[in-house]
Amino acid sequence: MNVLTPLHVGNGNELTPVDFYPRENEILVLDVERLVDDLQKLGADIEEILGMIRNPAEDLYVWKKFLTEYKINPEQYAKYKLKVRGKIGKMSSRIREFIKESGKPYIPGSSIKGAIRTAVMYEILKECGDTVTVVEALKEGTRIAGKDPIAIQGLIRSIEHPANHDILDYYIHYINMEIKRALQRRKKVNLKTVDDLLEAIVFGFDIGRGGIRHEPKRDPTRALIVRDSSKIPLNNLAVYEVRVIGADVNIPVWVEALEPNTRFNVEIIFDKELAERNSDYFNGLLWHCKGKELEEFIWKAVEDFYRELAKIDGIRGSNLLRIGWGKGWISNTIGLLLKRKGQKWEQVRRKLGLGRKPGGKGISSMFPKTRRIANGMPMGWVEI
């Protein structure tokens, strides 16, 4: 893969001003433990050091006093150093760390596969999401799962309601019902789980007491195996100042990100034997609609979905994919399809609070309104 725009995949950690030492256009990420140990050996007061760590001084040069007093070159304690693209902030600056193994960045296969699955869901709903096909898939899938069709009669009746042209009409109705139930319980809708039902219908399901749920063993994308990438040399990493364009309050975020033109290897395999071996076990709309054409369909879905997104971002190229942090709602969801539902989706979007202005000051009439830009570029575009 070739990185086209800054790419960040986080490990959940943040570097604080205690962890790094800024210089002109670069930062040194320090081995703090070794530095503290050596300062103690040189006679520094450990309580003073700990006090400084707990309450850093009012600039980025947290270690400046000690380094100057004991004539220490910070370079000696640098685990690695990174170029800075943009401006580093003041004392409150934190840098989101890139995921690494043995000290070197890599791209988890799960990040790449997740981006592919989003494209597949988008494309299958676009091609096969009509009510008749979805209901056929559910009935067949129930038979494959060895369950009584009565178990999903209620779901099928709801999908077949005359008001629904396709599964997205039903999905919007379903979210509305979830919002009502949440209000009765005086809770908010869990945005992380609200698409679980749609995932089950598309990728494969089993049926339990709570209705249908996604069943990974019945998901034909099991046959798509994406390995973690090769380890990438640290000199391809830089610190990027990411600005939120379109927000009322523009608070930048700093991330470690791979630079454009970074190349790395990823092994992606479609295991045909696994697909054939489990062909009587898979269910869901994707398998019902594409079955033996699955491998070709996956790459068509990736091409179609990301070509459409690339137009929005002004990205040129073929075999595009968008991965990592900062992609935005449109790239992470089937939002392009939902937006085509007009007011039907717009009303639900407002109820969900998507596009809420900072400080709870109402809902923006435009969604998504904001974009994350690093050094003038959108985040996360790669070329396969």
Over range 300-325, report the average pLDDT: 94
Query: What are 126-139's pLDDT values in tens digits?
Result: 999 999 999 999 99
Nearest to 305 by CA among 321, 329, 288: 321
- Which of 176, 177, 200, 178 has its CA nearest to residue 189? 178
Q: What pLDDT was estimated at residue 93? A: 77
Spatial contact of 218 and 281, defined as CB atoms under 8 Å apart: yes
Residue pLDDT, tens place only, 325-336 = 999 889 999 999
pLDDT bracket for residue 57 (50, 70, 90): low
Q: How far is CA 29 from the centre of its chain?
A: 26
245 contacts 230 by C-beta, under 8 angstroms? no
- Contact between 324 and 240 (Cβ < 8 Å): no
Which stretch of 21-25, 249-253, 314-318 has the lowest confidence by average pLDDT? 249-253
- What pLDDT was estimated at residue 245? 86
- pLDDT, tens only, 267-299: 999 999 999 999 999 999 999 999 989 999 999
* Banded pLDDT at 90 (limits 50, 70, 90): low
Residue 59: the pLDDT is 60
**Average pLDDT of the chain, as a whole number:** 92
Which tokens is 173 given? 């109705």
Q: Mean per-residue pLDDT for 139-153? A: 93
162: Cβ contacts below 8 Å, ≥ 6 apart = none
HSE (side-chain half, CA atoms, 13 Å) at 285: 25
Query: What pLDDT was estimated at residue 78?
Result: 96
Structure tokens at 182: 């949440």
Q: Does the pLDDT value for residue 89 go beyond 90?
A: no
Burial 333-344 (b: 16+ CB within 10 A, else e): bbbebbeebeeb
What percentage of the chain has pLDDT greater than the value 90? 74
Cβ neighbours of residue 68 closer than 8 Å, sequence gap 6 or more: none
- Tell me the C-alpha to C-alpha distance, in Å, between residue 366 and each of 184, 220, 360: 28, 36, 16
Query: What confidence tens digit (pLDDT) does each residue in 353-379 have?
Result: 888 877 667 888 888 888 899 999 999
261 pLDDT more than 90: yes
Cα–Cα distance for residue pair 264/240, rounded to 1 Å? 20
